[in-house]
Structure 1
């Protein structure tokens, strides 16, 4: 009986293997497209151009950065400003340079292979001032949990000018002071495969730079021209410590074209993913190829006036206790320290309005 059962299992396994037909989808391979994200503002240190190439569908990599390019902007008086590569694929002018309201700016790019690109001119429009910023502590039950989501909601008010076609974008940058700049793993005993993580103290003062992510917070005055914009939600600061929370709030002007582009991007990001959603269309911006006019180029080069307001959130006055995130213990003697590595996400330079 066992022999019969074994034979039947063998036959069934053979049939199953023979019934599986491998599917080799006919995937169309598209050439990499240049992606540009550029901005000129009237604030020093807030001007940048980042460039990358889209990865092929069959590639396991993320977008490839566009290195060793020649990048510069010209204004309507034909004054040229060079943007130097400060990190792979990231280009900035001299830290003291800034744009001027009322001027138009055009981006020019020449890649290392000789291909050239140019944006349409973008007008740097003025932006209305921020009237007030206020903070409200709020806690809500997390979905499907007995735990609470605790945080500080930040809002702002402003008075929109009576002129039409005023468009706005809001963003923020948080600087988190660090105790540890790295971690080290030490075996719990000689020859053990179990490790304990210890924090390496920063050799100098150091901050993590945390920017808004995947957030397109924009508005137009089409429906409220000349009236107030009230309780505009800007961010939610986490309640993970009693330490002050430092954040710089940015309010930018947008041209009508930039607002239209960002609105389309926002719709694609927020509305795609459901069963009956339409497939996202390729969204082109205001940049085109000079050498190959039919080439697909993605992204946008914008010009914005910017108002920056620092904000300190006193988290010690919250009516409940914070959700403290435990850090690893410090390194046991003999101790060493870790360097604060300068990058887009970390700096040893104190924020402009830091006062602690």
Structure 2
């Protein structure tokens, strides 16, 4: 290339660089909003309330949990039940307490700074029973790889009552005995950044709790009133072990208001933001601040009857090998154990139908 051409390239490049002006858009900072995820049911141990605050737009963390709040529910017979904080931001009543079908429940929350919030009353409607559940193994080649997505699909059937305006939601809770209660990291040498991982055993009986995440599995009987609901997909269990997979299937009743809220939320989650997608609707829950109804409060407090059925998935029936997840070795003996701390994701209480 000629020297004149090289000189011209450098001059043009310099001009382009000088034309680039960094843009620093103004960032709107909104005050944190309370996020409520609550449910009262007619089954003991299933009622719970989770409280958090939205993070600032520029924050990289998740929502902040709300600790130290006073949480309780009242019903239309003036009965009051306290919800105690069992882990940060997670509140539950006494394990034996249950709601009553036909009663209306209202959630009350008082934060540590004195702000008070209250829900609209929610009615516990009756729920149909589950007729049958069944499991089918399937595997599918993962896109762009030579590996398979292996798992067991769980379905159920039920008979919808002849009464109109029945609304359903399905969820599940999986329990399993953890291999370890804590993973510790030990440096390879005094001044090294490298480390080895070891597992600490639990000091006593313990179960990890895995709940459905971001699952909005709902339907209404508007088009099928009085008919059978068949082959309703509930969950897909992973095939990462030959051990039996224990899960409790929850079938819930919903009020019309709760169903419409969840349907709108589901549409927003599934909205991909394409050119022809509908604009997001304003998602209005049933919580508000006492004496300041204009404050934005997110989430919903619901009340539901619940049918619970345990299911044991025998993963030895699969026609192939599991995708085993490697785990660290146990801490060399003699080693201390780690207590099983009660929380939203771990418990020392044996699940009701556990038989191992």
Provide TM-score, normalisation by structure 2. Answer: 0.92
> Which residues of structure 2 form unaligned runs of 5+?
none
Q: Which residue of 2 aligns with 1:323?
A: 323
Task: After superposition, give the CA deviation of every residue in 1:83-141 in whole Å (9 maximum; x if it has no partner).
Answer: 22222222222221110001111112222232222211111001000001111111222
Structure 1 residues 186, 299: CA separation in 2 closer, same or farther (over 3 Å shift)?
closer
- Paired position in structure 2 for 1:288: 288
Q: Which one is further off, 130-139 or 188-197? A: 188-197
For residues 192 and 6 of structure 1, the distance between their equivalents in structure 2, rounded to whole angstroms, comes to 49
Check 1:195–1:86 CA distance in 2 against 1; reply closer, same or farther (3 A cut): closer
Whole-angstrom distance in 1 between the partners of 2:62 and 2:339: 28
Rounded Cα–Cα distance in structure 2 between residues aligned with 1:22 and 1:291: 44
Distance of 2:330 and 2:138 partners within structure 1: 33
Provide the secondary structure at the position in 1 that maps to 2:268: helix
Q: Report 1:1-356 matches (<5 A).
A: 15-188=15-188, 193-356=193-356
Q: CA deviation at 1:13?
A: 6.8
Question: How much has 1:78 moved relative to structure 2?
Answer: 1.6
Deviation at 1:225, TM superposition (A): 0.5
Q: Is this contact kept in 1: 2:52–2:63, CA < 8 A?
A: yes
CA 1:199–1:25: 2 relative to 1, 3 Å:
same
Aligned equivalents of 1:201 and 1:84: distance in 2? 28
SS at 1:337 equivalent: coil
Distance 2:64 2:189 in 1: 43
Aligned equivalents of 2:70 and 2:194: distance in 1? 50
Deviation (angstroms), 1:7:
8.5
Q: Structure 2: how far apart are the matches of 1:81 and 1:196? A: 47
RMSD: 2.4
Q: Structure 1 residues 275, 341: CA separation in 2 closer, same or farther (over 3 Å shift)?
A: farther
Task: Point out where structure 1 has 5 or more consecutive residues left out of the alignment.
Answer: none
| Separation (CA, whole Å) in 1 of partners of 2:330 and 2:93 | 40
Q: TM-score w.r.t. structure 1 length?
A: 0.92
User: Helix, strand or coil: the match of 1:330?
Assistant: coil
Q: How many residues align?
A: 356
CA distance in 2, matches of 1:143, 1:173: 29
Cα distance in structure 2, aligned partners of 1:83 and 1:208: 22
C-alpha distance in structure 2 between counterparts of 1:120 and 1:355, whole Å: 40
Deviation at 1:276, TM superposition (A): 4.4
Q: CA deviation at 1:10?
A: 7.8
Q: Distance in 1 between matches of 2:333 and 2:136?
A: 44
CA distance in 2, matches of 1:187, 1:76: 59
Superposition deviation, residue 193 in structure 1: 4.6
Aligned 8 A contact 2:245 2:314 in 1: yes
SS where residue 174 of structure 1 aligns? Answer: strand
Cα distance change of structure 1 residues 198 and 6 upon mapping to structure 2, 3 Å threshold = farther
